[in-house]
Chains A and B, each alone.
Chain A
Amino acid sequence: MAQIGTFPDHPALKGIAPPRGRLAGLRSIEGSRAFPALLLAPIMIFFLVWNVVPLVWLLGVSFYKYKVTSSREPAYVGFDNFTDLWRSSEIWGLIGRTLTFMVTSVGLATLLGVLLGLLFWGSGKMPGRRLALTLLFTPMVLPPIAVGTFYRLIYEPSFGVVNHFTQAVIGRRFDFLGDKNLAFGATIAVDVWMWTPFMILMTLAALGSVPKAELEAAEVDRLPWLKRLWYIVLPHGKFILMLGILLRTIDAFKTTDLPYLMTNGGPGNLTEFVGLSLYRTGFEAFQMGDASALAVVTLLVAIAFTSIYLYVLNYRETRAQLT
């Protein structure tokens, strides 16, 4: 690595010193064994300070009974926080709701994203394509706090624009965010609206990684479009697409801001997902130990998802190498 553009550190070349100049000092650093470590140091320090230390701290706190607002010293309770979580009636409902939200939201966003991405793909020479893409990506760049706020207005039962249309078309108004039959779907709809552009972007990137010659060969070979997708587009594009799905899955699992702003988890706890629950336990009830335990569980779930995706991604390659 350090040899690119510098004097190669090869035994046969010993004694043939590179011309000594201004960079001589730098070259001797590059040749040293510590050089790779030196290059890695900034990111390692960053990772240690911002990832490892808080994580260990979190793990530690999860073994304590610790209420920030109480004057009592944190008390070591072992796995009590975790067993409490395991035994509580709410945790399973919470995780179930969160997973349903995650699967539905990511599934719909992926489906729409791939379909729209495929439609956009053929528009390479369409005038105004750039503008259309920019507009399409607006939801993605909006801060969730803005999205949550204006969707509350859009869904508003008495003067919201959606109800204006439902009134005009079917003569009824709905309390989208307050009705127990509608709130979950309404929240998912906003999440899908927000994140479909991201999946379009990932689809376009995936499609961009498909070699042109292969598509041309398929055209000459008269392959039906489904076979083109299966044998050409998917093998090349799946990594980028799966990466998008993975990022979205992890992100959807910890969705906090959107339900917090739109429904505050209600009605009841119908739209309360892991993230929001965690926030409330930690910063409304100030039960730091319980919140930390929940956070550790969330982390484990996220790691599990990542592993499953990586396994699925590598499965065909592994199989191909084994046969």
Chain B
Amino acid sequence: MADIRVERLRKVFGPVVALDDVDFSFPDSSVTCLLGPSGCGKTTLMRIIAGLEVATAGEVFFGERNVTGLPPRKREIGMVFQYPVVYKGINVRENIELPLKSEKLSAAERRRRVDEVIEVLGLAAAADKDVGRLDNGTRQKVAVAREVARQPRIILFDEPITNVDATAKLQLKRAFKELTRRLSQTIVYVTHDQTEAMTLADQIALMRDGRIVQCDAPRTLYSRPADRFGGWFLGNPGMAFFDAELHGNGTFLTLVSALVPAPLAVDGPQLAPGRVTLGIRPEQVLVSTDRVPGAVPARLSRKSVQIGGQWLLSLTVPGLDERAFKAKVGPEQGARLPESGEVFVALPPASITLFGPEGDRLPASFPAASAVAAD
């Protein structure tokens, strides 16, 4: 077992609280991405797991082993840094082999491991080149290969593809996927890039202000964010938010908003009347030039084409605050829409997420949703 468990982990840099009593467990043999904006504490958390940073309080366990006081070399981990680290003056093969020489391995076993990682990372052409002549992308591949060849049970990646060019990024991502398919290490991968996290992770731990706010599989995290922050941070652009209200008494509640033409029946435990926030992903907003059932009139102020042919629309709805919100539509539909003018928008109830006044997701469902969808 090599799951990583941190308990009440706290790290303070002067007046800044980098980690705020984090309790978390990174599951064994899977890839966990630590995702969050700059300064949320994700790198600090990883460095404490590696032993490169000492926690102000709290403990770190690898399986049953308490490693809190151990230096990095005694933790039996691998780590790939943001800055591609290669050992100078020797070639790629020697670089990968160097740490293996400190382990008790036969020459044949060392060779086998080196050959294996060279093949997986596509380094065969560079294998006998001096590392001084390699570009950053290849250097980073060498760094990844070196850590993988050591076969530690835990490998940490600290934004490994931030400093390499676009082609190498793609190759490294592919190699990473291939590696995680073959190996069964516990991997922690720090990134601020949500696309990277979405593609590579088995689960994403979303961090904000020194806390892990949610940890779920990428799809779940995207479709069911635990709070407004998750909705806003994930997706490009993130969720659109609107003010709304829950009306009624404890047994029968309806959602009232300028975006739904008629009050929508809401079901869910612990819901109470009052102000709420309605959230929806831009690509789930239905936009059309005809008035479809459930739609409200809106004003399209701008449209622009995006990567992949999708169109990004800026919309405002009368009666709502004048702030524009974003919607995304497919290539054909986007092309048919006018540059600007009157349109109709509808929010499919199944795509609506409600957030309470504190920003946390409310366990709401819409019984009429299936009926509307069936129409």
Q: A residues engaging B (CB < 8 A)? A: 211, 213-214, 216-224, 227, 231-232, 235-236, 316-317, 320-321, 323
Contacts and interface: CB of A to CB of B under 8 A. Distances in A.
A81 B88 CA distance: 50
B72 A219 contact: yes
Nearest to A215: B85
A217 B132 CA distance: 17
B305 to A, nearest CB: 30
Given A223-B98, A224-B102, A217 B143 contact: yes
A321 B89 CA distance: 11
A216 B81 contact: yes
B83 interface: yes
B52 interface: yes
B99 A235 contact: no
Interface in B59-83: 71-73, 77-79, 81-83
Interface string B130-171: 101100000000010011001000000000000000000000
A7 to B, nearest CB: 32
Contacts of B50: 216, 220
Contact of A221 (B71, B82, B99, B130): B99
B88 A222 contact: no
Interface in B83-122: 83, 85, 87-90, 98-99, 102-103
15 contacts: A213-B85, A217-B143, A218-B87, A220-B50, A220-B78, A221-B99, A222-B99, A222-B102, A231-B88, A231-B89, A235-B89, A316-B89, A320-B130, A320-B132, A320-B133
Contacts of B130: 320, 323
Report the 10 A-B pairs with minimum CB-CB distance, sorted nearest first.
A235-B88, A231-B87, A221-B99, A217-B85, A222-B73, A213-B83, A213-B81, A220-B79, A219-B72, A320-B130
A219 B81 CA distance: 12
Contacts of B73: 219-220, 222
Given A211-B83, A216-B72, A223 B102 contact: yes
Contacts of A236: 88
Contacts of A216: 50, 52, 72, 79, 81
Given A231-B89, A231-B90, A220 B72 contact: yes
Contacts of A317: 132
A219 B87 contact: no
Given A219-B71, A222-B73, 13 more contacts: A211-B83, A213-B82, A216-B81, A217-B79, A217-B85, A220-B79, A221-B146, A222-B102, A222-B103, A317-B132, A320-B89, A320-B133, A321-B133
A51 to B, nearest CB: 36
A273 B168 CA distance: 59
A317 B133 CA distance: 10
Contacts of A232: 87-88
Contacts of A320: 89, 130, 132-133
A297 B178 CA distance: 66
A232 B87 CA distance: 6
A222 B79 CA distance: 11
B117 to A, nearest CB: 14
Contact of B77 (A211, A220, A227, A316): A220
A216 B133 CA distance: 23
Contacts of A213: 81-83, 85
A234 to B, nearest CB: 8
A142 to B, nearest CB: 38
Contacts of B81: 213, 216-217
Contacts of B85: 211, 213-214, 217
Q: Which residue among B50, B73, B79, B85 has the maximum number of chain A CB atoms within 10 Å of its CB?
A: B85
